[in-house]
Amino acid sequence: MSYGEFVKDLPLTLRRHIIAYDNLPHHQGCILYFRGGPRRVELDARVFDCDHSTVADALHEVLERPPNEKLWVTLEAGSVVIKPAEAQGRASNLHEDALPA
């Protein structure tokens, strides 16, 4: 599934918080830009094929208690896991100049 299809399949209550989305280099996933905090969440492409309601629930939890850091959403042992992006070495892929105003 493409990241665009994935985003469109998210519940409207979540999509209302997304102000933009973009792909990660080399088709590794996508970046969601949120209103407020966290401003940026990166999704591993593997989450596109798992249960969307599980990913949506995890993203809703993040929006309820937003951290000050960029996040990486991935799958580990079949479960959705949210980690700081920097802990995954993702900081080098971040394009701060692409962040919507």
Tens of pLDDT, residue by residue over 7-51, are: 999 999 999 999 999 999 888 899 999 988 778 899 999 999 888
The β-bridge relationship of strands 79-84 and 71-76 is antiparallel
Tokens of 25: 């280099």
Of the candidates 67, 66, 45, which has an alpha carbon nearest to the alpha carbon of residue 55?
45
Do the Cβ atoms of 32 and 43 come closer than 8 Å?
A: yes
User: What are the pLDDT digits (tens) for 67-95?
Assistant: 878 899 999 998 999 998 876 655 444 44
